[in-house]
Chain A
């Protein structure tokens, strides 16, 4: 697990000490000098020739100057191409670990899938502390909850050689404000420069092996520790004028309290949505996923490309709704990722103050300006719960879908079609009600689809698909015998704990339109076990009668009677409709319920929630007893791509089913 390597080599005791001191001074400019590491001295010339020697086994990326005088990190031809003096680059070295475009897998027209992971040993040479901190953050993020196979494979093949900064690089950088001028991790070897000499310290096994093989014969280790201390002392002097953000250690709480600070609108209104900031940021890691087919239509690949929350369409769902439609909303989202939502998780500011976004922004919008404005206001609020890091090894199959055959299908309406799928591997999906799968049509793409059947042990499961995008349009043209591809199940559904909590209660299901689909798996499950519940009430509202999902099942449910009751309404009647006409909230007041013994579950279009929640509150049902299932744009399904994120929460991972109490204060939810 390479992402914790910088602490792995210490005893448990030492580890606790480090993390204790880390916690105490999470943002202080404290450097953890790891004494077990090897330290050496080497001259610049020797260092260069060692890199030339290493070239036979590694490709080496370093800071270098292009023929048109730009400074970039790039693969170098020879050691002499390395620029030792730091000049800020447009794109950070993250591009070598998290490629701006990479293939997740290749497929052929017979449905075969093939993926390849990186195997070329690579050195990232001379990476500065801000970028090292960023690499540490990415290492953690890509291993969190699900191990991203592509990133982690590449990381494993990569040796990171850091280099200390001895002065602030330019007027735009503000690493010293976010406490990022010293690397908290993300490297195997660190170089401490003083003129044409360097001290070398390796902090991982990988680093030590490299030093032993390529550097030791050129070096002395006498005096290396003193040399390092000298360099660090000089650095401290050079940075001494610069200040940390005020209240740095309470960033999340202060940002949480300042969602309506005027600075957001002031800066947001200038924003061009040009994306320069997110393209250049070393700690942005959102991506989009796209299929590309060859011109001869015989094969293709699924690729991921950098994407980012400042772009207008980032949070647009297939139906067209944009969950962050204004520049201000998007700026708020981006900056809160850096200074609020992900901070506890990574134990440091997620903006490392490299200054790249400031240099790139023509509107001169800077996290520094925003940080200064908001952190000066020490008002506190409870920050969104940060799900703690949960490191995982690379999961080779994370992005590889499994083939599934359509074994039955039926069109309900013009727009909605129901499919029964069977996994070709004969295994059961093993899902909870309320979870979703990612359905792929190779060449077209992937779309998140709610599971419509209750959990069982068979290899078949149901989905119901509304025609809203490319994948779903294509699905509608498919029939029994056709093959699609599936990943999942994903997300947090109606887990056994929730099911347990529901036992003996009056269950109130409120569904709007296609929202009946994700509820159907749960409804069928509880109806089959109705003796476990006090009462089951189903309220269902549609725009028109012809939009009703599973109409046969609905009339069947209506006939069961007993403790099961169902009420329906439509916004607009059509010929032959004899039921209620009106919005769904009109069905709520007449229900006879005991608020202390009722659990409500709501699934529907975004605008429905506000009104239904109000009616339920009128009935005195508390937020603890209400569950909702939310829709967001989803790409990866595993908490990586960032598309589904609302405040600190990933809908694909922490949802789509939420207890209302957990999200009601989350400003990006409704």
Chain B
């Protein structure tokens, strides 16, 4: 059986997720290249799969495209669609691609406001629109959530795709993993945590390391937002502070910000 052809692409992002995907032990890397052919990975290799198109990408068809980054300007949409056409399976790699990521934080400000804050002297020089997830433009077959992704979960998804599984990421909240880690809840330590509505899979990384969950893996499919808000209020957050918590990563989530574009 021919090895599946795998490629990596990125849009607006920090490339942290690709770095995590590459955070492999030597055995893992050798195993990985024994089961898949990495045909395009701009950050790590010069070759492209096929002749170049006008976005600088290859043109050959690929089996799996891992796409990192959110879409922040009109001109990226065409490129994204081209990649979709080339790939049988598209996987959103990381929060930027999955839910717009940290980039969507700017969406809370007016265009003029955010442009001036970063480029005071020439605010309209660069193209920029509302930051969006890739799934808002193309069909996405699987997601690997997180900012950044978890390397173990990345390998899981690769394996799932190889065995012909629909890749599954947990659809239960971070609290499940937090309890398994035997953490005391950070609400008792005066912090506020989005763990009860955020999708698990990170091993409750933040609460287990002295932090709190800010929702980088996105919401579970049926979050109880009202109850989450009651809890935050009970633990002394006013309305603004509460909303501010959700803003970090959840701007694109209709359950929390139904009116936003």
Contacts and interface: CB of A to CB of B under 8 A. Distances in A.
Do A and B assemble together? yes
Given A293-B163, A295-B32, A443-B163, A91 B179 contact: yes
Nearest to B183: A90
A287 to B, nearest CB: 13
B145 interface: no
Given A312-B220, A313-B171, A363-B231, A275 B164 contact: no
A311 interface: yes
B176 A311 contact: yes
A296 B35 contact: yes
A295 B151 CA distance: 13
Interface string B32-48: 10110000000000000
A72 interface: yes
B91 interface: no
Interface string B150-180: 0000010011001111100001110110111
Interface in A168-214: none
A272 B180 contact: no
Interface string B180-219: 1011110100000001110000000000000000000000
Given A90-B179, A362-B231, A474 B164 contact: yes
Which residue among B155, B178, B182, B197 has the maximum number of chain A CB atoms within 10 Å of its CB?
Answer: B182
A444 B164 contact: yes
A226 B24 CA distance: 63
A100 interface: yes
B222 interface: yes
Given A293-B159, A295-B158, A312-B221, A272 B173 contact: yes
A274 B196 contact: yes
Interface size class of chain A, counting residues whose CB lies under 8 Å from the partner chain: 35 or more
Contact of A273 (B164, B166, B187, B222): B222
29 contacts: A70-B184, A90-B182, A100-B180, A270-B224, A272-B173, A272-B223, A272-B227, A272-B231, A273-B222, A273-B224, A274-B173, A276-B175, A276-B179, A279-B175, A279-B179, A292-B159, A295-B32, A296-B34, A297-B35, A297-B159, A306-B180, A311-B172, A312-B221, A312-B222, A360-B179, A362-B185, A363-B231, A443-B163, A444-B164
A280 interface: yes
B253 interface: no
A90 B208 CA distance: 13
A49 interface: no
A551 to B, nearest CB: 29
B165 A444 contact: yes
B184 A470 contact: no
Given A312-B171, A312-B222, A91 B182 contact: yes
B35 A444 contact: no
A663 to B, nearest CB: 28
Contact of B166 (A297, A313, A470): A470
Contact of A89 (B28, B182, B221, B230): B182
B27 to A, nearest CB: 8
Contacts of A311: 172, 176
Interface size class of chain B, counting residues whose CB lies under 8 Å from the partner chain: 35 or more
Contacts of B12: none
B61 interface: no
Given A293-B159, A294-B31, A362-B231, A273 B173 contact: yes
B228 interface: yes
Contacts of A89: 182
A363 B172 contact: no
Contact of B227 (A271, A280, A313, A474): A271
A470 B173 contact: no
Contacts of A362: 175, 185, 187, 196, 231
A89 B164 CA distance: 40
A598 interface: no
A272 B228 contact: yes
A629 B102 CA distance: 50
B227 A270 contact: yes
Contacts of B227: 269-272, 363
Which residue among B176, B195, B228 has the maximum number of chain A CB atoms within 10 Å of its CB?
Answer: B176
A327 interface: yes
Contacts of B183: 70, 90
Contacts of A474: 164
B89 to A, nearest CB: 14
Nearest to A363: B227
A296 B36 CA distance: 10
B195 A274 contact: yes
Which residue among B162, B179, B180, B221 has the maximum number of chain A CB atoms within 10 Å of its CB?
Answer: B179
Contacts of B175: 272, 274-276, 279, 360, 362
A69 to B, nearest CB: 9
A280 to B, nearest CB: 5
Contacts of A270: 224, 227, 230
